[in-house]
Amino acid sequence: MIPTTTPFDPVTGEVDLVALRRNVEKWTPTGIRGLVIGGSTGEAVFLDERERDRCWDVVARSVPGHTVLVAGTGAESLRTTLRLTRMAADRGFHAVLVQPPAFYKGAMTPAVVRDHYLAVADTAPVPVIVYQVPTRFSTLDFPAGLVAELSTHENIIGIKDSRGKLETVGELVTQTTHGFQVLVGSGSLLYSALEIGAAGGILGVANLVPRDCARIHARFAAGDTAAAGRIQQRVGPLHNAVVGGMGVAGVKRALDLLGYCGGAPRPPLKPLPESRRGELAEHLTRAGLLATGALAHA
């Protein structure tokens, strides 16, 4: 699945819903399973509730019926998380991705976090996916035992783990209940994670190479591991260089170069510096996404 970016109008700074619709309409025919609207790559922490709701509405009306829609609904309070979850369900979303409350980090013991997720799952009208946010952000690091405990709840169906550690993925796969879906957030780990039992990925790099990411999963599922591995060799370096190395600004600038609507991040995030734009174009060219002549115009 693609954790989509959120385009903003360069003049007003408002969410550009027309551009979001255009991107979604280009992504959905590429073989991806679904879209996550309102995740870290989508700058969800900068969106108010009305903006999230409008994004969910536009996307739900723009995709074919087979597309799985997941909404990022995690907030600092349980009350807000529940309200956002109901809003997403009302828009027709199939599941929610819930990041943990982390501002009062010292008070967020495993027991408190467990109770938070159980309270969400008990009342959510759609299934819940736990979100292990990248630990380089201001967030919590989930013990495997906590995730194993949460996996026993019938309405908690999986976790997106964005720590980028294969051994951690292995722990989650072996310790959680049968049928619980472990999804990786690192595009450099998809193939290896599938080998050890992960169900798939929610990959920032899939904004740029959705077809390749979908093909890694499809070829692996078909037993053609050699082909899946070859595609992974192209996708992994792109993830490391752009998603891991440049963040949201790099992903959005790359989208502009690839014919999508990227634009600038919402302040206080800054656009990708001019000094790194040539480097970005080189990575895209190396991945076969840009013609060599495009470097001069990047």
Sign of the C-alpha dihedral computed for residues 234, 238, 241 and 244 taken in this order: negative
| Residue 165 among the catalytic residues | no
Sign of the C-alpha dihedral computed for residues 228, 229, 230 and 231 taken in this order: positive
d(CA 121, CA 155): 6
The dihedral over CA atoms of 164, 82, 67, 3, expressed in degrees to the nearest 10, equals: -30
Q: What is the C-alpha end-to-end distance of the chain, expressed in Å?
A: 28
Q: Which residues pair with 156 in a beta bridge?
A: 128
H or E element: which one contains 168?
A: helix 166-175
d(CA 284, CA 146): 39
- Cβ neighbours for 68, distance < 8 A, ≥ 6 positions apart: 1, 33, 34, 35, 94, 95
Give the pair of three-digit tokens for residue 114: 């467990």
DSSP per residue, 270-289? -PPPHHHHHHHHHHHHHTTS
Among residues 26, 105, 160, 270, which one is catalytic?
Answer: 160
**Which residues are the active-site residues?**
160
